[in-house]
Amino acid sequence: MTSGQHLSAIKGAKVLMVGAGGIGCELLKTLALSGFQDIHIIDMDTIEVSNLNRQFLFRQSHVGQSKAKVARDAVLRFRPQISITPYHANVKDPDFNVDFFKQFSVVLNGLDNLDARRHVNRLCLAADVPLVESGTTGFLGQVTVHIKGQTECYECQPKPAPKTYPVCTITSTPSKFVHCIVWAKDLLFAKLFGDKNQDNDLNVRSNETASSSDHSEDVFERKKDEDIEQYAKRIYDHVFGHNIESALSNEETWKNRNKPRPIYVKDVLSDELFQQNGNADKMMESENLSSLSAMGYLGLKNPQDIWSLKENSRVFFAALKLFFSKRQKEIGNLSFDKDDHLAVEVVTAAANIRAASFGIPLHSLFEAKGIAGNIVHAVATTNAIIAGLIVIEAIKVLQNEAKNCRMTYCLEHPSRKMLLMPVEPFEPNKACYVCSETPLLLEVNTHRAKLRDVVEKIVTSKLGMNLPLITHGSSLLYEVGDDLDADMVANYAANLEKVLSELPYAITGGTTITVEDLQQELVCSINIKHREEFDEEKEPDGMVLHGWTQAPAVEKKDAAATNGASTSTTSKSAPNILEDDDELTILESGIETISSGKKRKLSDISTPEPLEEKRAKKVPEHVDDDGDVIVMLDDVTKENSL
């Protein structure tokens, strides 16, 4: 294509960007400088201080403002002649329907979560608009192209799931620091500052409490006239002392495990130190809520230092005092937020105290925050590289050169002398329920499971539908929408509570239901197979969906050793999905899942194996005399000296 046609394709394109964060800022800048004239941006987020180190379109004065709107204003300062339309909204809002997507030449994703990615993928398929997907984590990145009928869609291959841990491991037998973090975040923090009526294993009482006449009293309920110091000390002794002693009473558990040691306040802090911890009033009077910090009060300045057990205990007490003194109104409704510094301090200190009890190495606040928020810290350069690759692939799409499109992986360390690994896009997966409309199979006990179970555990959770409609034959069993009258809403609500086999049009083994999302224009057929029993541990949903595949969740490797960054092992991998903007689901290291269900390492792609028989095209090797790394972008060779 001539340069004139090339420029015409760019200038005549109408582009939709979804996400104005780490990748989005770089992408908007690159699109503007590449000659694109009509750009639309959707992002629901506002700017936070933690964004400023890499999202270069934003400044301190922009904190709290819309990312999409501020990004637009920043780019128009150096490209005032182009049109940029911002939407401070959720891409899943009804306004952004199939008709909205049809107006665009190409959609470019810079999102940070799986749910939104799936939603955009389905809208692009329904609107028949090409999608360029992307993601980064640390030094790793990837760009993939999805064209309806020509390449696999975003959901053709399974995506790694968040790692989950058995409750018994978290509450009774932790062996890794991540277990302590999950305990501190999801159990202790939730019990202290969330809904105190929720039951969890922290309600275990000591022998002393259980034998008292008032044994029904909730340990976490602050007693009348009990000051903050007394309450904090009682909680500390309960969760780190009494509960550990209670666990030790089950001798069978510790036959082949190292026994934990109970930790009480009197064992760690002298009365003098404990009283000092409760004397933070002067500091609190001068601090605003957003800058409250137990570290600041205690003079602990470096978040990368590993605190001692005594320091962790003091941080725990100081943080609790700050919460109960200055943020009392929030208590009862709080959930953990990685951007809430005081919350991170509580979780870090509690996790470290528990780790000390179980003989697990302690971690710094920096490391603990990364684990608690599933964070791999962003690298601005990776975002810039990925944004450039997105634009390159978008231009190919606009020039109708789909055959030249590539999935490109950005590596941390060279593989066969390359840091950018291009791979031919895969063909659509014929078994994909999204783009190939292949029926799914649901094994379920139709005499026990309710329609609500199917909606919550399958339709919304696994299939990612926002406005589901469920039919059995010509009978409508369930629907969601704002235009329903009161009788219909009541009827569908009643259906939710009915067992499948007792619905007006019974769902039993051998029947087929149709599930549809009108917003996404996605339709799935689900064949029902009755099954009596399920393994509670392996099949906790009480039902199993076949044809919908999700990569096995795998634990992140030693985060402490890497501060949440990538290791040399992961650097040579092609993760199936990478998340942008600091948010990272815990992924399996070095593995890519392909449609056959087998797994391979990216290093396999770069070896001179007979890849023509597989789905990837072998990339030629070019090495100059100086040993510099040659970065390959299809037929274009660029030299990058290390």
Residue 153 φ then ψ, to 5°: -85, 175
CA angle 557, 562, 362 (to 5 degrees): 85
Q: Look up 153 and say whether it is catalytic.
A: no
Q: How far is residue 3 CA from its own chain's centroid?
A: 41
Compute the distance between CA of residue 238 and CA of residue 220 in angstroms, rounded to an integer.
9
Catalytic residue among 25, 156, 168, 524: 168
CB-based contact 54:145 (threshold 8 Å): no
Of 343, 400, 369, 12, the closest CA to residue 192 belongs to: 343
Task: Count how many residues are written for the chain.
Answer: 642
Sole residue written with tokens 């029904």: 216
Sole residue written with tokens 């083994």: 509
The secondary structure of 5-72 as a DSSP string is: HHHHHHHT-EEEEE--SHHHHHHHHHHHHTT--EEEEE---B--GGGTTT-TT--GGGTTSBHHHHHH
Compute the distance between CA of residue 634 and CA of residue 405 in angstroms, rounded to an integer.
8
Torsion of CA 158, 163, 164, 170, to 10 degrees: 170
Compute the distance between CA of residue 33 and CA of residue 31 in angstroms, rounded to an integer.
6
| Helical pair 380-398 and 22-33, crossing angle rounded to 10 deg | 50
Compute the distance between CA of residue 367 and CA of residue 352 in angstroms, rounded to an integer.
11
**DSSP state letter for 173:** -
CA angle 68, 70, 76 (to 5 degrees): 100
CA angle 182, 112, 638 (to 5 degrees): 120
The secondary structure of 319-364 as a DSSP string is: HHHHHHHH-GGGTTS----TT-HHHHHHHHHHHHHHHHHTTPPP--
CB-based contact 576:159 (threshold 8 Å): yes
Compute the distance between CA of residue 3 and CA of residue 63 in angstroms, rounded to an integer.
41
Compute the distance between CA of residue 42 and CA of residue 17 in angstroms, rounded to an integer.
6
In angstroms, the Cα distances linking 64 to 52, 313, 335, 596 are: 12, 34, 20, 46
Of 299, 261, 262, 266, the closest CA to residue 280 belongs to: 299
Q: For 14, how many CA atoms within 13 A lie in the half-sphere containing its CB?
A: 7
> Which long-range CB contacts under 8 A does 450-453 form with residues at least 24 apart?
450/496, 450/497, 450/498, 450/499, 450/500, 451/477, 451/478, 451/495, 451/496, 451/497, 451/498, 451/500, 451/503, 451/507, 452/496, 452/497, 453/541, 453/542, 453/543
Residue 14 φ then ψ, to 5°: -115, 115
Active site positions, annotated: 168
